[in-house]
Structure 1
Amino acid sequence: MRIKALSFLHVQLPLCLFALAGCGGPSAKDESPNGAPQAGILSLSPGWNTIEPGGETTCSRGDPFKYFVRPGTVNRLVVEFRGGGACWNATTCSVAGSLFQETVTDEPAVVSQQGATGIYDHENPDNPFRDWHHVYIPYCTGDIHWGDNVATYGEGSQAVTIRHKGAVNVRAALGWVYENVPAPEKVFVTGCSAGAYGSIMWSAHVREHYKGASVIQFGDSGAGIITESFFRDSLPSWKPEGVYPTWIPGFEPAELARLSSLYEVIGAHYPDMRLSQYNTVLDDDQIFFFKAMGGGGDQAWSDAMKASIAGIEASTANFSSFLAPGSAHCILWRPEFYTVESGGTRLVRWLDDLVNGAQPPSVACDGC
């Protein structure tokens, strides 16, 4: 495993906070003023650090996988799953590079492509997560962070091999997290698009490991509206079985044809968790993939999305949703993270309540 410090987005804090050599302060194993043991994450350089786990981790074409860690100043942790598209047959996997990023760049995509906006703006006093540790898990396998398979699609010269190893990559990242952030007070598990599916599935694993932590999940623009044919014929190509929370009584893999069942089962088993979703009423990207799976048009997706949310709300007391107007896909990284509102409620305030106050009620835009 290799760790490299990146030279950008450094927070302006005394280096001694991170127990670096020569500070004369507490080591990473010493206790903090409140008695909680200091985590190994505090020995990293300020700003974003690149971790190259090696081993069996990989991207879709065999390129190396890496993830990024930014130490904070409070004993709270963001675990974020990068978004992107997916591929599941010869048609989609032949153009995999246009659907999701097949390699991990040398710096977090949130910096190189999207800038320090949204949740990554650590200077914004409105950011509920500005002081938290942040682990950013990239996505380069086309399997919504669930897969553990090497699949070949097509034949002859048209054949393409995809390493659907998202679950392997996540396990490596979480293994590091568990060792280096041993007892966080709170954990915010999130991600947009494909990362939203990673967030709900892996939130159960995070909660099972951190039995003393408050775990909050926020799925950004991943409502899970799929077709029966996709679930039956395509999802198996990823071999996601190894990531299923099979220790939860009542979990039935066949029920994953409705992603809502995953929210319902996890929410019932861990009533102290807070689960949530954010969607726009006519999300362009989610509609695109629904159509690619053989689904209907814009309104069919929107109606199914709203029905799915209503079903989770009816069965899961610890679930809340935020339905916004428009067709934009993902909000976490956008400047609008701080301004978007629905039903008179700003998302950033709603999220602050979700992680720091009483669980907020679901909200929806007027006319949605």
Structure 2
Amino acid sequence: MRFKALAFLPFSFPLCLLAVLGCGGPSAKDEGPTSPPRAGIVSLSPGWNTIEPGGETTCSRGDPFKYFVRPGTVNRLIVEFRGGGACWNATTCSAGAAIFQETVSEDPLATGIYDHENPDNPFRDWHHVYIPYCTGDIHWGDNVATYGEGSGAVTIRHKGAVNVRAALDWVYANVPAPEKVFVTGCSAGAYGSILWSAHLREHYKNASVVQFADSGAGIITETFFRDSFPSWKPAGAYPTWIPGFDPAELANLFVLYEKIGAHYPDMRLSQYNTVYDDDQIFFFNAMGGGGAEAWSEAMKASIAHIEASTPTFSSYLAPGSAHCILWRPEFYTVASGGTRLVRWLDALANGEPPPSVACDDCGSP
């Protein structure tokens, strides 16, 4: 495993999100839920640090995986999953497809939630672990798949779950007893946030765990779920300890929210979407879906389903078609239904659970 300090955070794709992993750390036996860890993450250099875990971790075409950690000043932790599309057949996984993040990039980023100097940032003092994404499997997969035949064949290492587990092993060792954990991610990282939030809540039994999915409503087609989704082999990442969890029902992502919410009634779960998200509609169409209106109506129906069954779930629906808000400067200014998102998130993570918010005039595609 290699480890080095980094002065900037990586980002370069319209679907953003983050990563973690590492080496040994302190024991949790002498740490209380509100006392800061005396070693581990706080011993890192200020700013962003790069961790290269090695081992079985990998990106889709064999490039190395790494993740990034920024120590904070309070005993609270962000675990963020980066986004970056997905791939599931010879067309979407080809080298020229350019619809999923293939490697871990290191582009500078200091806007949105990553602006730790902004006094309006509810998470400015928190430890921040950014788990990159480069496997095309929404952080869930554990498979090596070959798509196509002959000279057109392409092999993809769908090892998102392997990469996440490596990062979380480091987190567990180096942040032994956080007071709060904010699990988030945009686009593909939004799906990472909901699935792995159950693992984090199960591990940190004394922590307050909050999940926030940015632009990942999970609207897919039955054909995709039946014929393509299995190529990622995500079963090893499922929270199978939750009673009643049935992977066959995951064609509807709201099932995962409902099961996690019912099993952990103290967790706060949430989603952010724009009413006509361009990228989510693009992937819905690529799966054989029915266009912008069909996606938007299905998204709103899914949100309503979770709200009706899960008291600890809140949603934020904004106007427009922009995809992902976490990394954008507009993170601090976007408002819907008279409520600024940044204030809504502050309440979600640090105060009373906020009610769901929807745009008054959402517009048209």
Per the normalisation by structure 2, the TM-score is 0.92
Q: Write the deviation string for residues 299-341 of structure 1: whole angstroms up to 9, x where unpaired.
A: 0000000000000000000000000000000000000000000
Q: Write the deviation string for residues 115-169 of structure 1: whole angstroms up to 9, x where unpaired.
A: 3110011111000000000000000000000000000000000000000000000
304, 311, 322: which one aligns with 1:310: 304
Q: Write the deviation string for residues 71-116 of structure 1: whole angstroms up to 9, x where unpaired.
A: 00000000000001000011111146611221113x3x4x2xxx31
The answer on 1:129 being equivalent to 2:123 is yes
Larger relative contact order (CA 8 Å, sep ≥ 6):
2
The residue aligned with 2:345 is: 351
The number of aligned residues is: 345
Deviation at 1:47, TM superposition (A): 0.5
The answer on 1:326 being equivalent to 2:340 is no
Alignment CA distance shift 1:35-1:222 (3 Å): closer
The one-letter code matched in structure 1 to 2:226 is R
Q: Write the deviation string for residues 243-302 of structure 1: whole angstroms up to 9, x where unpaired.
A: 010000010101100000000000000000000000000000000000000000100000
The answer on 1:179 being equivalent to 2:165 is no
Are 1:96 and 1:142, in contact at CA under 8 Å, matched by a contact in 2? no
For residues 96 and 344 of structure 1, what CA distance do their matches in structure 2 show?
Answer: 43
Are 2:26 and 2:173, in contact at CA under 8 Å, matched by a contact in 1? no
Identity %: 85
Alignment CA distance shift 1:31-1:248 (3 Å): closer
The residue aligned with 1:44 is: 44
For residues 62 and 236 of structure 2, what CA distance do their matches in structure 1 show?
Answer: 21
Where 1:257 maps in the other structure, the secondary structure is coil
The residue aligned with 1:4 is: 4
The residue aligned with 2:163 is: 169
Are 1:40 and 1:181, in contact at CA under 8 Å, matched by a contact in 2? yes
For residues 260 and 28 of structure 1, what CA distance do their matches in structure 2 show?
Answer: 37
The residue aligned with 1:101 is: 101
Pairwise mapping of residues 232-247 of structure 1 onto structure 2 (< 5 A)?
A: 232-247=226-241
Larger radius of gyration: 1
The answer on 1:62 being equivalent to 2:62 is yes
For residues 298 and 351 of structure 1, what CA distance do their matches in structure 2 show?
Answer: 27
For residues 97 and 205 of structure 1, what CA distance do their matches in structure 2 show?
Answer: 32
For residues 167 and 361 of structure 1, what CA distance do their matches in structure 2 show?
Answer: 32
Deviation at 1:174, TM superposition (A): 0.3
The one-letter code matched in structure 2 to 1:87 is C
Question: Displaced runs of 4+ in structure 1, greater than 6 A?
Answer: 27-32
Alignment CA distance shift 1:39-1:249 (3 Å): farther
User: Runs of 5+ in structure 1 lacking a partner?
Assistant: 10-26
Where 1:278 maps in the other structure, the secondary structure is strand
Alignment CA distance shift 1:192-1:154 (3 Å): same
Per the normalisation by structure 1, the TM-score is 0.91
Deviation at 1:38, TM superposition (A): 2.1
More helix by share: 1
Aligned Cα RMSD in Å? Answer: 1.7
Are 2:31 and 2:176, in contact at CA under 8 Å, matched by a contact in 1? no
The residue aligned with 1:119 is: 113
254, 259, 270: which one aligns with 1:260: 254
User: Runs of 5+ in structure 2 lacking a partner?
Assistant: 10-24
Deviation at 1:2, TM superposition (A): 1.2
The residue aligned with 1:280 is: 274
For residues 298 and 7 of structure 2, what CA distance do their matches in structure 1 show?
Answer: 45
